[in-house]
Structure 1
Amino acid sequence: MTGFSSLSWPKVKILLIDDDEDDFLITKEICAEIEGLKPELDWVSTYAEGREAIKRQAHDVYLIDHRLPDGSGIDLLREANEAGFKAPMIILTGLGDHEVDLQAMAAGAADFLVKSQINASLLERSIRYSIERSRNLHALHESEERYRILVETSPDAVVFIDPTGRILFCNKQSSTLLDAERPDILLGRLIKEFIVPEDWNKFQETLNSLFESNAVKTVEFTMISLTGRQFPAEASINQIPEHKSYPRGIIIVIRDITERKLAESALRIEETRTRALLMLSQMTNRAESEIFNYTLEYAVALTKSTRAFLFQTNNNGGSFIFWPEIPQNSLASIYKSLVEEIKNNPKITTKTFIHTDSNPGLPPKELSFLCLPIIDSGNVAIIIGVNGNTNGYSQFEERQLAVIADGMWKTIQRKRSDEAVRKLTLAVEQAADHLIVTDKNGVIEYVNPAFEKITGYSKSEALGKTPRILKSGLHTPEFYKDLWDTILSGSVFRTVFINKRKNGEIYYQEETITPIFDSSNQITHFLSTGRDITERKKAEEALQ
């Protein structure tokens, strides 16, 4: 059909379907009097010819006589509409007949005209009205079709309910979401059936708030499908006012937000884990028991458990720590059996026990456990575990427990290493024997307080120098060559030095020089330890 705008009307192509040639000639004369439309009139005289002409869709409007020699004009109109032809069709009749008028309109006629009353003005008005109406109906149909496609292809469920909450319409995605074979299975059911009871009041409050404002409302709730499957959902809800084409009601767009909730949960866990690991890394100055309790608290949070425990092995077998509280005595055997199993077969373990409460009025219940060992020098040093996750433990929870346990163990090892270094430092600083550390070339990098006391040189005076500052001149060049050949070959050199203090006093030093190697077995430093044996030497000389 030719397109029109209300401001510019091109030539209008009209087909008259009428068996009376006189009517054709009269109509042609009337069309000639119409100035605004510039009509072009064609003519066929039978039902069959009219049907073929309509199929070609070459005209903008059709004038169809009510009575044709081989059929009814209304039947032709009905056939054309059923075939999907959209051009406007006007029924013509020789006499004004209200019954025919009603039949024509029911069959889809754009207008109904009595031949004897037709003039240029009336025909122009009818044609204009029919074309405009057809165009508007076509636009409306296209709009409705677009919305229908949008609704049917929407990835979200679209549900239309009446004010009582009964489902009047739903799209295909609704049946998929609610585990129904077809959308029509859901029709007539109450939306309340698909919302868990504990969330219904919240959902109903959202529905009621629609009548206070026209704004779209959003609510999150847990939905339940026809098969009993529960999942988190989000609904956008809006009120639809009453209209002649549909009743007053509420449209609900529902989406499954399981993936979003999982992502949000994973993000929260990631943030919690990062915060826990950062705190653990700063706890090397805390007591081990405090580090253990902090780890167990976060193990519960990261694995969605209710309790965590830690078993630390020792010479007496080992001991338990629990968080947040010690379990009832009836659970002791379960924890002990878990520990023994993991000690004998050290690996990540998930296990479920049937526990009978000490209270005879309570039914038995399942307890899920997740445990992992921490190995030190080939032996189980610590076992850390959690229990109480109602959904059981997956690889995700295993990873969370492994990460927090690893962070704890690194902190414990660093704490123990720092403590060992502190002890060593105190021992070196408080030792009676002197200690010198030099680089490979003999440049002094460290001396202890005993060195300062024995030699008279302060640490600042010694650092950056070589042990030659103690040289007395009483050893031969061959002595020093033997020393360097020995330590550069990687061997330990032991001797008695005759050294000179800062004040020029000669003293005897019993000395051991040891090479220090790196991970590539290359010498990087030398460690010299010694003690002043001057008094012993004097005593030996006095006895001779």
Structure 2
Amino acid sequence: MNKENLSVLLIEDSPSDADLFQEMLREASVVRFEVVVVERLSDGLKYLSNTQFDLILLDLSLPDSHGLETLNRIQAAAAHTPIIVLTGLDDETLALKAVSLGAQDYLIKGNVASTLLAHAIRYSIERKRLTNTLHQHEQEFKTLVENVPDVISRIDQDLRRIYVNPAFEAVIGIPSSEIIGKTYQDVGIKTAATTLWEDTIRTVFKSGQPQIIEYTSPTAKGWRYFQTRLVPEFSEEGVIST
């Protein structure tokens, strides 16, 4: 059976630890790891300037960089590459912080078996791939929403707008800085249309079903007819969030 090839940049200033990690990677049964080892952050950054790796194994305590600044600089140079932080027992809190800032995982030196290391690398690569794909889709959606001529906004359960697209500002005539976090009534708009709109929004939150309403409302260029579709957004727990 042909082995999968994965390239790894190992940034580790301890020769004994670097040798141990390389030996564990050589023992992997289903993956062939091609490992480049450097001892300093500056050398790692040089490699990243012209070489694409599948994953980075990163010691946060290096001769020329220490702590989360090490992670920040690597992320800036390789934003789409998964990173696993290597740490000692006394640095686990720092490693957890690194994960919260975007590292895919952390491993405690001395507590890592070859099988665990190989699995952690493969899972980290897959998680990062999914994260990158999600981010790309979010950017594509944002580009679409911010360039359509239709008025689009997101509203929380207190009827406050938490997002408006550029068309909202152009058509309604209210800058996003003045409406975000506020209701229509907060900015002085109180008409029969806003009452209808607010009552229908409450119905959507209660029923979980989309609604379509038609009304006229004041805009930057006078009164205008609108047909508005109100659609609930559900959280991962199935609760209507906006």
- Match of 2:28, as an amino acid? I
- Report if aligned partners of 1:195, 1:221 keep a CA contact under 8 Å in 2: no
Count of matched residue positions in the alignment of Structure 1 and Structure 2? 239
CA offsets per residue over residues 496-525 of structure 1, 9 Å max, x none? xxxxxxxxxxxxxxxxxxxxxxxxxxxxxx
Task: Indicate whether 1:108 and 2:99 are aligned.
Answer: no
Task: Indicate whether 1:237 and 2:237 are aligned.
Answer: no
Gap regions ≥5 residues in structure 2:
none
Q: Percent identity?
A: 26
Aligned CA RMSD, in angstroms, stands at 2.6
- Report if aligned partners of 2:87, 2:95 keep a CA contact under 8 Å in 1: no
Q: Secondary structure in 2 aligned to 1:141? A: helix
Task: Indicate whether 1:128 and 2:117 are aligned.
Answer: no
CA offsets per residue over residues 72-123 of structure 1, 9 Å max, x none? 2632211232456211111112434332223322332211112212221110
Instruction: Give the equivalent residue in structure 1 for 2:156.
Output: 162
CA offsets per residue over residues 242-296 of structure 1, 9 Å max, x none? 468x9822xxxxxxxxxxxxxxxxxxxxxxxxxxxxxxxxxxxxxxxxxxxxxxx
- Report if aligned partners of 1:13, 1:59 keep a CA contact under 8 Å in 2: yes
Instruction: Give the equivalent residue in structure 1 for 2:93.
Output: 99
Aligned counterparts, 1:146-295, within 5 A: 146-180=140-174, 182-191=175-184, 197-211=191-205, 213-225=207-219, 227=220, 229-242=222-235, 248-249=241-242
Change (3 A) 1:80 1:223: farther
**In 2, distance between residues paired with 1:247 and 1:77?**
36
- TM score, norm. by length of structure 2: 0.86
The alpha-carbon deviation at position 28 of structure 1 amounts to 1.8
Change (3 A) 1:188 1:9: farther
**In 2, distance between residues paired with 1:247 and 1:202?**
20
- Match of 1:237, as an amino acid? L
Change (3 A) 1:247 1:18: farther
- Report if aligned partners of 1:96, 1:114 keep a CA contact under 8 Å in 2: no
Gap regions ≥5 residues in structure 1:
1-7, 250-544
Task: Indicate whether 1:34 and 2:28 are aligned.
Answer: yes
The alpha-carbon deviation at position 201 of structure 1 amounts to 4.3
Q: Secondary structure in 1 aligned to 2:8? A: strand
The alpha-carbon deviation at position 228 of structure 1 amounts to 7.4
The alpha-carbon deviation at position 51 of structure 1 amounts to 1.4
Instruction: Give the equivalent residue in structure 2 for 1:58.
Output: 52
- TM score, norm. by length of structure 1: 0.41
**In 1, distance between residues paired with 2:177 and 2:3?**
46
Instruction: Give the equivalent residue in structure 1 for 2:82.
Output: 88
Instruction: Give the equivalent residue in structure 2 for 1:67.
Output: 61
Instruction: Give the equivalent residue in structure 2 for 1:463.
Output: none
* Bigger relative contact order (CA 8 A; separation at least 6): 2
Q: Secondary structure in 2 aligned to 1:236? A: strand
